[in-house]
Structures are given as structure tokens and as C-alpha cells.
Amino acid sequence: MTTTTTIETPVGPAQPMVLNMGPQHPSTHGVLRVILELDGEIVLKADPVIGYLHTGIEKSCEDKTYSQCITLTDRIDYLAPLSNNLGFCLAAEKLIGIEVPKRAQYIRVLLTELTRITSHLVWLGTHAIDLGAMSVFLYSFREREEIMKIYEYVSGQRMMTSYFRIGGLALEPPPGWLDRVQRVVDSLPGHVDEYEDLLTQNRIWIGRTKGVGYLSAQDAIAMGVSGPLLRASGVAYDVRRAFPYSSYDEFDFNIQTQTAGDSYARYQVRVAEIRESIKIVRQAMEKIPTEGPFRAEMPGIIPPSREEMKTSIEGLIYHFKIFTEGFAPPPGEVYQAIESPRGELGVFMVSDGSAKPYRVKFRAPSFVNLQSLPKLCEGRLLADVVACIGTTDIVLGEVDR
Amino acid sequence: MESQELDKNPAVRKLRDSMPRAIAEVIESKGETTIVVPADELLRISEYLATDPALLFSFLSDISAVDRFPLEPRFEVNYHLVSLEKQVRLRLKVRLPGRDPAVHSVTPVWPTANWHERETFDLFGIRFDGHPDLRRILMPDEWEGYPLRKDYPVTGFR
């Protein structure tokens, strides 16, 4: 389909076989299509075809007020909705110049780290099931469910949380929520040990992942990959450390790196990141004050408290105006990056001084990381393509937006 | 004002010294530095920024366009760079006319630009000369129009 190079074989010239993998292939994690050119079982060329899930989120954002856009960000990376919420809110806050109260910042850190854990658990489970290790999938989804219950308790939603709002949080977190978090972080390290018992020394697992999908540090930087993919190639770039946001500079954590640059190294990095995230969650639990505002005060931009809205005329007017016509940030443009579970999630936001963003661009880490797929799997066996797709940890909603 | 800007960002300082005609404008806003460069100088500047040992903007994190319709020059293309060694960000901006917007591809400097430029071409209709494989990426190949342009309705043409 793409090229017609002939290959000399002992029995004469042969054409490479073209194989369409996806868009409905179970191991492509959604609707990714890869056009593979094969010589026997060897992949000569891989061409990812994307766009099957393109819903025009960036265009839709231009037709919504800033607050309304938050609900769309949930749907970009549906495995890490809170990270997307955070990226969008931080960009808008930078544009307007809002200082978010410390309490809200710590709660944001706690919840986004839990998001990182759930996202890595889904990755671990699906990657393992792709490679034939069924039980890890069942275990990791069991633990994920416990964290999803925390989301539901805090925000009312399991997946499309929209819990972070411009200036802080949507609601005061319900009483006793930290006890639930405590229960999860107490049991999680043991569960991670369980997964490691099943996989880390497993000969089949090592055979399927070690040396598969190699990416050198130089290539990784040139291809712009970020997140665990980049760190598994030995580059210690983490947005949380390099460009701290939401008080990450007050937390003590290590950037997990490996130098092997293969699928196994990425597995090691992600499992280690789950443990680091647990560490950050524990620190955040200690830091979060029990009392204090959960969102900043900025009349006309951030909604007044319920009580103020009911008792003061200004509060009522602001409430009405914010929820009918929105608010207008000053003209300007900002780029705000956060470390999502998949890498650098950037939000480029342009305001023209009206109540709707003039342009929002999401720098989706999956989109960029997927670009390196041909580098990972060309010259290797067809079966390794599954391992390579799994190890890049793509979410097609984010690739296509 | 001018000298303050110079002090603030080493990239601006070095560019002013070695390529005086390369900088059309420097914008400092909200803690971010933007260098507006002429479209025909972009590739040379990119090479310089990516390889100069004091700067090393080796990581291109994003390319995104903005449509300023009906203003002229209509399009802006923004390149968000990161120096992993120095932990600095920088934005390059190129302004392009509404008629036949085209700029040279930066794929020779940053291979990651490949898909970013395909996306910008797909959604804005901006051509990247010298791009190895300039096809639509998100929209179907036979799609007409460029959806993220401001004269393209949100509901689509029907």
C-alpha cells in the first residue's frame, strides 16, 4: 500500500506483505490502526494511522466558556481525567493570575498522584494481558476500583470527574475522605509487591519485554517522547521537578530512571513510579490542612461560596454572571505543562479578552509518544508490535482529541 | 526595557549577538519568553538554538498554530522548546500571511516535528516546505477545508 520495494529471496523476488493491524484489534487499546509491511514475521515498516477518535475537542473549546471546557478535558485522556483538569485549570489560572490556596494545591497533588497510580495500574493490567499474563489484569483492576471509589466519593463521578475548577476545587471534599485514601495507600504497596512477584522475575515476561522496543536516549529526545518512555531511556526529565507547579517543589520524591530503554525498563520505571506516587500521597495527606478555603477568592471570576450567594446581593450577581456568560481573562497567551501519567501534558491557551478561549491546544503526550512506534518495532517480530504498542501506553482519546 | 529583556533570557542575548536580523520582536509575558522570528530565518535559528552548547534546546515539546482571522498576518505558528540541560522554556513564533501560508519544516532539526506539522497542516492548512511526509493526520484524507480555521463553523459545513 505504501511502498512496493521488492526483496530478493532464494526463490526469487518477493513483495513484502501488507498487514492492517487495527483499528479493531484488541491490543491496540482503542482505535489505533497500524499498517505493517512484513517480510515473513519481520516488520519492515510500521505506519500508525490515527484520527478514528477525533472529536474536535480543541475546536469545541473555542465555543465554550472557560469553565465549560473543563468537562471536555476529562474526555481527552479518559484514564487520567484529573491530570487533564489540572493542566487546563493551571493554564487558565496563569492567564488570569490566580493564586490557588495551599490547601487546594495539596489536594490537587494528592488526587493527581492517585490518578497516576490508577493510570499505571490500567497500563500494567492491559499490557500484561496483551502479553498473555491474565491474572495481573484482574488484580490491578481490583486495586484501581478502590481508587475510583475515592474519586466517586470526592467528586461524585468515577471517571469524568471535572473536580478541579479554575481557582481551586469544585467542592469541599467530604468528611472522612482521607481515611479512605489512607486505607488505599496502606494496602497498595503490598499489592504492588504481588504484581512484581508475578512479573519481575517471570521468564516469559522477561522474554517478551527485555530488549524489545529499544529506544536510545538520543532518539527519545529527538522524537520528543516524554514521561516514563523518556525516563526508561535514561533521561531524567520530569515536569514536576524541572518546572514545578501546584507546590510540587515542596514534596520529596525521586525521578525514576532506567538506562536499558526497552519495554522491560519501562515496566520497571512505571512500577517504581507507583511506589513514588504512594510516597507523595502520604506526604500530601500530612500537609493538607483540615480547615481552610478550597478555592481562591476573586469576585467575578471564581464563584462565591454558597452561603455568600444566598445572603449577599453581590454574591448573587457574580454567581449569575459567572454561570451565564462566564468571565473574560485579559488577552494573552500561556503554555502550561504538567507531568501527566503519560508524559508532558501541555496546554497552550490564547485569550482575546472574551469569555471563550480564542484557542486551546493540548500537547498530548500519547500523540507524541506514538510517533516513536515505528522506531520501536521496525526490524523486529510481528508479535513484538503488541509489546511495543502496550509499552508506549497510549490513550487514543488523547492521541486524536 | 530592551536591556532588561536582554539580561533576562540567555537565548535572546545570544541570538541578538550572533544573528541580529533574526529577532523581529521579543515578548515577555507571564514569565514566558517569546521570540518572534521571520519565517525565512526559522530553520537557521532552530538549528542554532538546538545545537549551541550554551542553549541546547534539544527538546521540541509542541507546535501549535493560531488563526487571527480576519487580521493580517493571519496565522501564527508557535514552537515550544525546552532545554533539558538548562531547564528553560522558550517559545518561537512565526507570523504567516493568510494567502498560501507556508514555512520551512523544522523536521531536520527536531524529528518530532513530523506529526506536529502534519497536524497543523491538517487543521489549519499551513504548508511546511521540506516536510518528508505532509499528509492529513487526524481528518480523513479526502476531507475538504481546515477545521481549526476561524472561518470554519464549529458545526461544520452542511
Task: Report pLDDT digits (tens) over A202-226.
Answer: 888 898 888 888 889 989 999 999 9
- Paired with A344 in beta bridges are A339
Ranges of H-type helices in chain B? 2-8, 10-18, 42-51, 113-124
Nine-digit cell string for A396: 487514543
| The predicted structure's pLDDT at residue A299 | 85
| The predicted structure's pLDDT at residue A305 | 86
If we measure between CA atoms, which residue out of A241, A66, A71 comes closest to residue A167? A66
Nine-digit cell string for B73: 498576518
Contacts of B32 in chain A (CB under 8 A): 334-335
pTM value? 0.89
Grouping H, G, I as helix, E, B as strand and the rest as coil, residue B94 is strand
Task: Report pLDDT digits (tens) over A46-71.
Answer: 889 998 889 889 999 998 999 899 99
If we measure between CA atoms, which residue out of B18, B36, B17 comes closest to residue B26? B36
CB contact under 8 A, B114 and A344: no
| The predicted structure's pLDDT at residue B158 | 66
Sign of the Cα pseudo-torsion (A391, A227, A196, A113, in order): negative
- Paired with B77 in beta bridges are B65, B94
| The predicted structure's pLDDT at residue B3 | 46
- Paired with B79 in beta bridges are B63, B92
Determine the average pLDDT of the residues in B100-126: 91
| The predicted structure's pLDDT at residue B12 | 78
CB contact under 8 A, A62 and B84: no
Q: In this predicted structure, which of A7-11, A135-139, A290-294, B86-90 has the lowest mean pLDDT?
A: A7-11
| The predicted structure's pLDDT at residue A5 | 57
CB contact under 8 A, B87 and A243: yes
The DSSP element (H or E) to which A181 belongs, if any, is: helix A177-199
Size of interface A-B (CB pairs under 8 A): 93
Pick the residue of B59, B148, B157 with the most A CBs within 10 A to test the interface with A by mutation: B59
Task: Report pLDDT digits (tens) over A351-363.
Answer: 998 999 999 999 9
Task: Report pLDDT digits (tens) over A97-135.
Answer: 898 999 999 999 999 999 999 999 999 998 888 888 888
Determine the average pLDDT of the residues in A156-181: 89
User: What is the residue-averaged pLDDT of chain A?
Assistant: 88
In chain B, which residue's Cα lies nearest the Cα of A352? B68
| Candidates A62, A222, A344; nearest CB to B61 | A344
| The predicted structure's pLDDT at residue A338 | 92
- In angstroms, the separation between the Cα of residue B54 and the nearest Cα of chain A is 18
- Paired with B33 in beta bridges are B28
Nine-digit cell string for A94: 496563569
Nine-digit cell string for A260: 536499558
| The predicted structure's pLDDT at residue A271 | 93
Pick the residue of A371, A372, A399, A401 with the most B CBs within 10 A to test the interface with B by mutation: A371
- In angstroms, the separation between the Cα of residue B32 and the nearest Cα of chain A is 7
Determine the average pLDDT of the residues in A26-41: 82
A2 pLDDT above the threshold of 60: no
CA distance B49 to B54: 9
| Number of CB atoms found within 10 A of residue B100's CB | 9
Task: Report pLDDT digits (tens) over A145-155.
Answer: 999 999 999 98
| The predicted structure's pLDDT at residue A149 | 92
Q: What is the ipTM of this complex?
A: 0.88
CB contact under 8 A, A58 and B148: yes
| Candidates B78, B87, B139; nearest CB to A348 | B78
User: What is the residue-averaged pLDDT of chain B?
Assistant: 85
Determine the average pLDDT of the residues in B106-114: 91
Amino acid at A391: T
Distant-in-sequence, close-in-space partners of A77: CB < 8 Å, separation ≥ 6: A83, A84, A340, A342, A345, A364, A366, A395, A397, A398
Taking the mean position of all CA atoms in its chain, how far away is CA A263?
19
- In angstroms, the separation between the Cα of residue B120 and the nearest Cα of chain A is 11
A247 pLDDT above the threshold of 70: yes
Of all residues in chain A, what percent carry a pLDDT higher than 90?
37
CB contact under 8 A, A400 and B115: no
Q: What is the dihedral of CA A246, A68, A159, A294, to 10 degrees?
A: 40
In chain B, which residue's Cα lies nearest the Cα of A244? B87
- In angstroms, the separation between the Cα of residue A354 and the nearest Cα of chain B is 14
Tell me which residue has cell 480564542. A358
Contact A133, A205 (CB under 8 A): yes
- In angstroms, the separation between the Cα of residue B17 and the nearest Cα of chain A is 27
Task: Report pLDDT digits (tens) over A252-306.
Answer: 999 989 888 889 999 999 999 999 999 999 999 998 988 888 888 888 888 888 8
| The predicted structure's pLDDT at residue A331 | 92
Residues of A within an 8 Å Cβ radius of B: 50-51, 54, 56, 58-60, 62-63, 94-95, 97, 221-226, 235, 237, 242-243, 332-335, 337, 344, 346, 348, 350, 358-359, 361, 363, 367-368, 371, 400-401
**Residue B1 — pLDDT band, cuts 50, 70, 90?**
very low
| The predicted structure's pLDDT at residue B5 | 47
Determine the average pLDDT of the residues in B20-44: 85
